[in-house]
Amino acid sequence: MKRFDYNEISPDGCIGKGREIAAKGGNWHFHSLSKGCSFNPRPEFNAFLIEDVDADVNYCAFCQEDFTPHCKELVVILHGDSVIEAAAIDPNWEAPPIVQAIEDCLAKKEAWHHHMMKPGCILSPNPKRHVISLERGSSTDIAYHDEDTDPLETLRAIEVMYFASR
Ligand SMILES: [Zn+2]
Ligand SMILES: [Zn+2]
């Protein structure tokens, strides 16, 4: 369980809030924090966290339903339509270990989820970098992958696997 300050909003308000912050053109992002997620501040619920990094304000919604539809709608606003398109994956691109670890989870039918921690992220172990984390059922350790710049190729490979498995 992770503690951070947030303003609670309704699950129905998440997409509007994401769009509203995105429209300002600043630094923002969101996370789906499921019941099993190490970062969920209220793990009896599924949580959805939106970080307005520029304003230094966080918003959280909680419910028993899954936030996957919210993720799918907001991830393309944040990273562009191609972030969920399998056809956009470069066949010559060499997958880093975090992508191989997720392929291993899928092969073993092991639960997994990831978080894209952009610079300024309150959950990030290294908020100056672009970090992607992986939590998997067989381990309580969190794996981290980080890059200097927006890791779009890595994120695309992961998002395509994530939405295909849900
Ligand atoms: Zn998590
Ligand atoms: Zn974050």
11-53: pLDDT as tens digits = 999 999 999 999 999 899 999 999 999 999 999 999 999 999 9
Distance 103 CA to ligand 1 centre (A): 17
Distance 50 CA to ligand 2 centre (A): 8
The pLDDT confidence band at residue 3, using thresholds 50, 70 and 90, is confident
Model pLDDT for residues 146-158, shown as the tens digit of each residue = 999 999 999 999 9
Distance 109 CA to ligand 2 centre (A): 27
Can you give the pLDDT at residue 110?
A: 97
Ligand nearest the Cα of residue 135 is 1
Average pLDDT rounded to a whole number, residues 59-73: 96
Can you give the pLDDT at residue 49?
A: 98
Distance 40 CA to ligand 2 centre (A): 12
Can you give the pLDDT at residue 12?
A: 96
Angle between helical axes of 97-108 and 152-164 (0-180°, round to 10):
10
Cα separation of 154 and 157, whole Å? 5
Kindly list the structural domains of the chain, giving each domain's residue range(s) and its CATH number in brackets, ordered by start: 1-79 (3.30.720), 83-166 (3.30.160)
Higher pLDDT, 7 or 1: 7
The pLDDT confidence band at residue 166, using thresholds 50, 70 and 90, is confident
C-alpha distances in Å from residue 156, one per residue of 73, 109, 150: 15, 21, 11
Ligand nearest the Cα of residue 140 is 1
Ligand 2 ion: residues within 5 Å (CB): 51, 121, 123
Run of H or E including 63: strand 57-63
Tell me what percent of the residues of the chain surpass a pLDDT of 70. 99
- pTM for the structure as a whole: 0.95
User: In this structure, what is the dihedral angle of CA atoms 137, 141, 146, 150, given to the nearest 10 degrees?
Assistant: 40
Distance 3 CA to ligand 2 centre (A): 13
pLDDT at 2 over 80: no
Can you give the pLDDT at residue 1?
A: 58
